[in-house]
Structure 1
Amino acid sequence: MRNLTEDQAFEAMVLFLEQFYERTKSDDVAVLLGQLIILEGGGTADPAVWHDWIECLHQVLNKE
């Protein structure tokens, strides 16, 4: 498997959540997906979400 950029990994996570939502119709997942929308000018609908995403990436990458 090849390495993903931050943006590609984020896109993969969103796709996973969208598919999960389609199966479950979970209101909580729907709210989260609304916060994850990438705006035209860049950034997410909820700016804190991107920061949280980067923090999680760092935790995973530094886990050794």
Structure 2
Amino acid sequence: MTMHSDGLTLQEAYLSMFEFIVELYQRTKSDDLGAILGDLSLLEDGTTADPAAWGDWLRCVEKARRGGVDASLVITPPHP
């Protein structure tokens, strides 16, 4: 995975994640993704529509910084 040497601010990272979900939603029209986007949308004062969303985001950022996120693809055989 290629990384930028300049890094992203938390705001830039959040907006990047938001845009990624927007693009997935545009392709899939998934109601679940639409609901997530609604919760993650920013209000005029800069807070998230779901008050807990920013705290959840920060918790995930810290988990990733500590190396606690495993994004490896794991394929499990279907159950009979």
Bin the TM-score by the shorter chain: over 0.9
1:33 aligned partner: 37
1:21 to 25, 31, 50: 25
Question: Which has the larger helix fraction?
Answer: 1
Deviation at 1:3, TM superposition (A): 0.4
1:56 to 28, 36, 60: 60
Instruction: Please report the RMSD computed on the Cα atoms of aligned residues, expressed in angstroms.
Output: 1.1
Q: Distance in 2 between matches of 1:6 and 1:58?
A: 11
Q: Structure 1 unaligned segments of length 5 or more: list them.
A: none
Deviation at 1:49, TM superposition (A): 0.7
1:9 aligned partner: 13
Q: Which runs of 4+ in 1 moved over 6 A?
A: none
The structure showing larger relative contact order (alpha-carbon pairs under 8 Å, at least 6 residues apart) is 1
TM normalised by structure 1 equals 0.95
Structure with greater Cα Rg? 2
The amino acid of 1:48's aligned partner reads A
Q: Structure 2 unaligned segments of length 5 or more: list them.
A: 69-80
